Copies of this chain bind each other. A is one copy, B any other.
């Protein structure tokens, strides 16, 4: 076995921690430092560490653990209370960027409505894992704003799949398959809810007999991995959504905090830093022509503004106060792998050419770096509810 991965781990974990501490020193969230660390040691700058399958898989476990923890920390009452508002915010968060992205593409490359719609679809894909990490760092994950953001992002993921399926079917890429995908979504949530009641009972029973034993966090983590796998493989829903749902199922256990703590230690020791540095690792600045550069700048700007504007205004309409609407808008701004996966599907369907990956990666990088910084500033200046 080639044990080069041990050196990669040492380099990534060390620089991630060092830059995380540095970032905190200048008042920015640690996760920003970790992303920058990946950018520095990765192919974009120093080239000390290359992206490998192993690192990508470790990063995936990192983001799954992060979302599982977010699920475990869920305040179910808060979730029920914010449910309707979150759904509305999610809709605004999908359709405003969708419209903006379509318009942008048509403006740059002329009347190709389907391709335009596809660029809009990419723009609409939220991945709140970075927001979750930033809120967690500040201890704001289970407040009203935090809960609204996370649940809106989950619903956003579902609506995103619906839009993607519709757009792909319009392009002729598998209509029957498309219908199946749409049918599978309610099926997943029905199954998760139905089995969730049973799973919760089994875990409660285990928990009453074996409080604070190792088996609780280990078996919970197995359930999380299983749900993540099921969601993506069988139902076409993002694995992180499955992990979050697994966390929500277990969030009322009396040992939920204990489980979360154990998962958190595994996560911050190895997996989470690999997820954050992984964002930097993926980035490489390919050669750009002027038009693509201009397009990229507009793409990134509109993607960010589309979410902030769409979600923020909708939150305002739902009765959130001024500064909380800004936080919700900012929180929904982050993009992640879901955007890349969507782009990949477009490439396969012939709706996208490879050079459009550059603006997507830029969007992921820029949003991952500025969202935590702006969120932290917003929370420092205006504590929740003001």
**Chain A residues engaging chain B, CB cutoff 8 angstroms:** 1, 3-7, 9-10, 13-14, 17, 21, 53-54, 56-57, 60-61, 64, 214-215, 217-219, 221-223, 225-226, 228-229, 232-233, 239, 262-263, 265-266, 268-270, 273
Contacts of A217 in B (CB 8 A): 269
Subset of 28 A-B contacts with CB under 8 Å: A3-B60, A3-B229, A3-B232, A3-B233, A4-B229, A4-B233, A6-B60, A6-B61, A6-B225, A6-B228, A6-B239, A7-B229, A9-B61, A9-B222, A9-B225, A10-B223, A10-B225, A10-B226, A17-B214, A17-B218, A17-B222, A53-B53, A214-B268, A218-B268, A262-B265, A263-B269, A265-B265, A266-B270
A57 B1 Cβ-Cβ under 8 A: yes
- Compute how far the CA of A268 lies from the CA of B9 in the bound complex, rounded to whole angstroms: 19
Q: Which 4 A-B pairs have the closest CB atoms?
A: A10-B225, A6-B229, A10-B226, A14-B222
- Compute how far the CA of A106 lies from the CA of B309 in the bound complex, rounded to whole angstroms: 81
Q: How many copies does the complex hold?
A: 2
Query: By CB atoms of chain B within 10 A, which of A7, A9, A217, A268 has the most?
Result: A9
Question: For the complex, would chain A's binding face be called helix, strand, loop or mixed by DSSP majority?
Answer: helix
Query: Shortest Cβ distance from A233 into chain B, in angstroms?
Result: 7
B228 A3 Cβ-Cβ under 8 A: yes
A221 B270 Cβ-Cβ under 8 A: yes
Contacts of A266 in B (CB 8 A): 265-266, 269-270
Query: Shortest Cβ distance from A326 into chain B, in angstroms?
Result: 31
Contacts of A263 in B (CB 8 A): 269
A239 B3 Cβ-Cβ under 8 A: yes
Select A21's contact among B57, B215, B232, beta carbons within 8 Å: B215
